[in-house]
Amino acid sequence: MNKTVFVLADCNNFYVSCERVFDPSLENKPVVVLSNNDGCVVSRSNEAKSLGIPMGAPYHKYKQVIKNNDVAVFSSNYQFYGDMSERVMDSLKIMNNSLEVYSIDEAFIRLKNPKNLKIFNKILTTRENIHKWTGIPMSFGIAHTKTLSKIANHVAKKKTNVGVFDIRQDNVCDKLIKKMPVEDIWGISVNWGRRLRSLGISTIHDLKKSNPGFIKKNLGVVLERVVYELNGVPCLDLEELSPKKNIMSSKSFGKPIEDLNHIEEALASYASRACEKLRSQKSKCKGIYVFIKTNSFQPHRPQYRNGLSFEFELPTSDTRVIVAKAKEIMKIIYRKGFSFHKCGIILLDLVPENYKQSHFFADNDNDDQEEFMSLVDNLNKSMGPKTLFYLSQGVNKEWQMRSNNRSKRYTTKWSDILEVN
């Protein structure tokens, strides 16, 4: 009987790969992509890795290394990356509908009753097709469990030329994991590794050969499942994407902000984005929490932080209602004389959009609200993000995050579509 097979599909150096799709001159050159406000390195090409630039490296500390080695630097372009991710995931769904999107650049695929001789070639073909359709290079790890597919994917990325590795044979698996530290297992933190080593378990192979009952007794059921997974017994299935119970939208300002009007503009923008996410998962919120804070990493400056929540009479997903109330709350918690670093909003206690609990005095129970918001969402989806936006979000946006090196939004903004002369 053929066992279930899990495949982990992972985009290689995803943000960098996205930039290279529309700028082929970046191929074989060192490239880094920075986090929000151009703070830290969050994606590196292999050439940048070879220069010793670590993941999460503060940009200002490695600025000289980057300059000396002519490293191409990009600010994060999340709309572009998100759209490219959707294209990759849609391409993977052509291969198999049993798909769990694990992150922006990773997905688990489950294959039932696969023919062993054909699966490797099938995945090779899928990899080639996705690169042809999207331009994104990928790695694939094949195994009988999700935990082992993570290990197989790591090998596919680091130690093969074809980008695909099959770890289903026990002798192949055992040879590979005998010297791999236990911390290389998906979900095993440094603290977990320390506890395992105190029990004489230092490699993945050691954990595989451990008694599941002993592990459960000393470390709990989660680690017991890992032992079974390492032995080819699936304990983790694909997870369905369930609606979030709360949605937060918050970013650091591009520079310290004191003016209340600028803070309200930022808050309106964050609230608007949160409401888009709320409606996209077909939900409404019962309440909101608004907060503001100074930079705790600058203790020499006056410090202040505060937040306040509000419960609506009836659940809503209307951006106008939520933004208006969020601004009222901000006026209450704002204090003069402080340079603020960040503000944000959390949409609380989410319920399905068809949730109805009307009462006589409610003034936001109106079908016209939903029709209007649907119109705005459809226009922004067809014509590009922020084609329609609220004046309360501001125009000049002095609070906006630093993104001095952001590339064009090639796939999500009409004016940024690539021109070929």
**Judgement on whether residues 22 and 52 belong to the same structural domain of the protein:** yes
Per-residue b or e along 69-80, where b marks 16 or more CB atoms closer than 10 Å to that residue's CB: bebbbbbbbebb
Q: Nearest to residue 340, comparing CAs of 272, 225, 261?
A: 261
Whole-number pLDDT of residue 383:
78
Q: Nearest to residue 304, comparing CAs of 315, 314, 293?
A: 293
Please identify, among 190, 220, 241, the residue that sits at the C-terminal boundary of a domain.
Answer: 241
Q: Report the distance separating Cα 347 and Cα 417, nearest Å.
A: 34
- The count of structural domains within the chain is 3
334 found inside a domain: yes
Beta bridge partners of residue 33, listed in sequence order? 43, 74
Whole-number pLDDT of residue 242:
67
157 found inside a domain: yes
29 found inside a domain: yes
Is the four-CA dihedral 364, 366, 368, 371 of positive or negative sign? positive
Q: Are 72 and 25 in contact (CB under 8 A)?
A: no
Whole-number pLDDT of residue 95:
75
**Judgement on whether residues 190 and 234 belong to the same structural domain of the protein:** yes
Length in residues, the chain = 421
Per-residue b or e along 113-138, where b marks 16 or more CB atoms closer than 10 Å to that residue's CB: ebeeeebbebbeebbeebeeebbbbb
274 found inside a domain: yes
Beta bridge partners of residue 6, listed in sequence order? 110, 143
Q: Report the distance separating Cα 288 and Cα 247, nearest Å.
A: 10
Please identify, among 126, 142, 168, the residue that sits at the C-terminal boundary of a domain.
Answer: 168
Q: Which CATH number is 224's domain given?
A: 1.10.150.20
**Judgement on whether residues 191 and 303 belong to the same structural domain of the protein:** no
- How remote is the C-alpha of 135 from its chain's centroid? 20
| C-alpha dist (Å) from residue 372 to 251, 267, 320, 376 | 27, 21, 10, 6
Structure tokens at 149: 């597919």
**Judgement on whether residues 65 and 8 belong to the same structural domain of the protein:** yes
What does the pLDDT profile of the chain (421 residues) look like in tens digits? 457 899 999 999 999 999 999 999 999 999 999 998 888 999 999 999 999 999 999 999 999 999 999 999 999 998 899 999 999 999 998 877 789 999 999 999 998 766 665 888 889 999 999 999 999 999 999 999 999 999 999 999 999 999 999 999 999 999 999 989 999 999 898 999 999 999 999 999 999 999 999 999 999 999 999 999 999 999 988 876 667 789 999 988 888 999 999 999 999 999 999 999 999 999 999 999 999 999 988 888 899 999 999 999 889 999 999 999 999 999 999 999 999 999 999 999 999 988 766 665 655 556 677 888 888 888 888 777 777 888 888 877 777 777 778 888 888 877 888 887 7
Q: Which CATH number is 389's domain given?
A: 3.30.1490.100
414 found inside a domain: no
**Judgement on whether residues 316 and 281 belong to the same structural domain of the protein:** yes
**Judgement on whether residues 229 and 254 belong to the same structural domain of the protein:** no
Please identify, among 219, 241, 263, the residue that sits at the C-terminal boundary of a domain.
Answer: 241
420 found inside a domain: no
Q: Report the distance separating Cα 326 and Cα 248, nearest Å.
A: 13
Whole-number pLDDT of residue 262:
93
Q: Which CATH number is 53's domain given?
A: 3.30.70.270
**Judgement on whether residues 255 and 364 belong to the same structural domain of the protein:** yes
**Judgement on whether residues 197 and 261 belong to the same structural domain of the protein:** no
Structure tokens at 58: 């503060």
**Judgement on whether residues 22 and 140 belong to the same structural domain of the protein:** yes
327 found inside a domain: yes
Residue 40 identity: C
Q: Nearest to residue 44, comparing CAs of 36, 59, 55?
A: 55
Structure tokens at 195: 């506890």
The 3-state secondary structure of 213-274, one letter per residue: HHHHHHHCHHHHHHHHHHCCCCCCCCCCCCCCCCEEEEEEEEEEECCHHHHHHHHHHHHHHH
The 3-state secondary structure of 186-217, one letter per residue: CCCCHHHHHHHHHCCCCEHHHHHCCCHHHHHH
- Measure the CA dihedral 129/132/135/140, to 10°: 20
**Judgement on whether residues 5 and 131 belong to the same structural domain of the protein:** yes
409 found inside a domain: no
For 224, the domain range is: 169-241
Structure tokens at 167: 């770890």
**Judgement on whether residues 140 and 260 belong to the same structural domain of the protein:** no
| DSSP structure class, residue 341 | E
**Judgement on whether residues 142 and 33 belong to the same structural domain of the protein:** yes
Surface-to-core class of residue 64, CB atoms within 10 Å of its CB (0-12 exposed, 13-18 middle, 19+ buried): exposed
